[in-house]
Copies of this chain bind each other. A is one copy, B any other.
Amino acid sequence: MKLLEERILRDGKVYPGEVLKVGGFLNHLIDDALLEQIGTEIYALFKDDNVTKIMTIEASGIAIACYAARHFHAPVLFAKKSKTANISSDCFTAQVKSYTHGNTSTVFVEKEYLRPEDRILIIDDFLAHGEALRGLISLTDQAGAHLVGCAIAIEKGFQGGGDALRAQGVKVCSLAVVDSMEGGKVTFRE
């Protein structure tokens, strides 16, 4: 997606430790106009897949999921990271290691919101090692739901998570695939 690549080149920042910072438009301050385009693009990629539910993980996947949901007319289910007083104990759970947060957390969704008849499109802002996606796929599998595929805004292709999932037959569509950030210069996969 040309518009997203251009925005990454213009406003993204490369930090040590292979960190690509896009907080100015994607996952801290969210650019409404860009997200509209991202939602439209994701719909174009999965419009024929009879998606019944979009699943994401808090927090930064929620915005993209919502901008896509409008086109699918599908509800958004977001996996949570902390139990609160209003959560049922009857949950599907998965362990997710976060390289950005530097920890492993248990993510969960309540069983009643993820059903065997669901056709799930997973959406997230970033795909690097693929840990969050694997967690969400595990939740989908536990529910006996059908995984339609995964739509990602930015994939760090050089970290291999996306290609490993593709090799397993998962439909993974990333709107921008970063192949290298060496020397602070971002280059995209053709």
A:1-39 near B, CB below 8 Å: 15, 17, 19-21, 23-24, 28-33, 35-36
Q: Does A168 contact B (CB under 8 A)?
A: no
Q: Does A67 contact B (CB under 8 A)?
A: yes
B28 touches A77 (CB 8 A): yes
Identical copies in the complex: 2
Size class of the A contact interface (CB-based, 8 Å): 35 or more
A77 touches B113 (CB 8 A): no
A84 touches B101 (CB 8 A): yes
A75 touches B113 (CB 8 A): no
Partner of A102, one of B73, B74, B85, B109: B85
Bound complex: CA of A29 vs CA of B69, how far in Å? Answer: 12
A21 partner residues in chain B, CB cutoff 8 A = 86
Partner of A15, one of B15, B28, B78, B86: B86
Q: Which residues of A contact B (CB under 8 A)?
A: 15, 17, 19-21, 23-24, 28-33, 35-36, 58-59, 62-63, 66-67, 69-70, 72-78, 80, 82, 84-87, 98-102, 109-110, 112-113
A-B contact pairs, 15 of them (CB 8 A): A17-B85, A24-B113, A28-B80, A30-B77, A31-B75, A32-B72, A35-B66, A62-B62, A63-B76, A66-B66, A84-B98, A84-B100, A84-B101, A85-B99, A86-B100
